[in-house]
Structure 1
Amino acid sequence: MNLSNKQKQHLKGLAHPLKPVVMLGNNGLTEGVLAEIEQSLEHHELIKVKIATEDRDTKVLIVEAIIRETGACNVQVIGHTLVLYRPSKERKIVLPK
């Protein structure tokens, strides 16, 4: 699923007041963390994930792995925070055209 710039801007606005619902710790990206991200995406559609790593390359690899495994769209990455969007069966967020 590809998002247009207008849709990304809309999602960024909706994500701004959100707090991270999933936080990656020292163990990195585990099965449990992926399951939590899946569950959160199904429930909320738009979530923030906090990635606690100082290495930029590692962070990029983690972000790519999360997107690949969950099938979600990367809305943006700011600092250590990743914003993900994936529509659920009962859509809660209406995207602009």
Structure 2
Amino acid sequence: MNLRGKQKRYLRSQAHTMRPLFQIGKDGIDQKWIKQVNDALEKRELIKVNILNNCLLEVDEVKEYIEANSNIQVVQTIGHTLVLFKQSSKKNNRSYSIEVAKI
């Protein structure tokens, strides 16, 4: 699902009150971390990720790595926080993607 501007705006508004679910520290990110995030997105569809100050990677590098190595979309980056979205493959877990499809 390729997101348009209005769809991203809706997802940003939904993520506004969320707290970060994952953190990226000095160890950086790898395929194991991507799998854990992917599993969380399978249940929630929308999460926030916080990049800690001791992380050796820049925000843009993290964003590029996530988008290149998975089908997760980065909806927004604010400072050291990323908002990630992925449509769930299970219909029971789809809440945000149903609303996004209507926009």
Work out whether the TM-score is over 0.5.
yes
Tell me if the contact between 1:53 and 1:59 (Cα under 8 Å) persists in the aligned partners. Answer: no
Aligned positions, number:
97
Deviation of 1:54 (Å)? 7.0
Alpha carbons 1:22, 1:33 under 8 Å: kept: no
Question: Structure 2 matches for 1:2-81, cutoff 5 A?
Answer: 2-53=2-53, 58-81=58-81
Aligned residues: CA RMSD: 2.0
Give the equivalent residue in structure 1 for 2:95. 92
Gaps of 5+ in 1: none
* Letter in structure 2 aligned against 1:7: Q
Is there any run of 5+ residues in structure 2 with no aligned partner, and where? Answer: none
Following the alignment from structure 1 to structure 2, what is the Cα–Cα distance between the partners of residues 3 and 67? Answer: 13
- Identical aligned pairs, as a percentage? 34
Normalised to the residue count of structure 1, the TM-score between the two structures is 0.87
TM-score by length of 2: 0.82
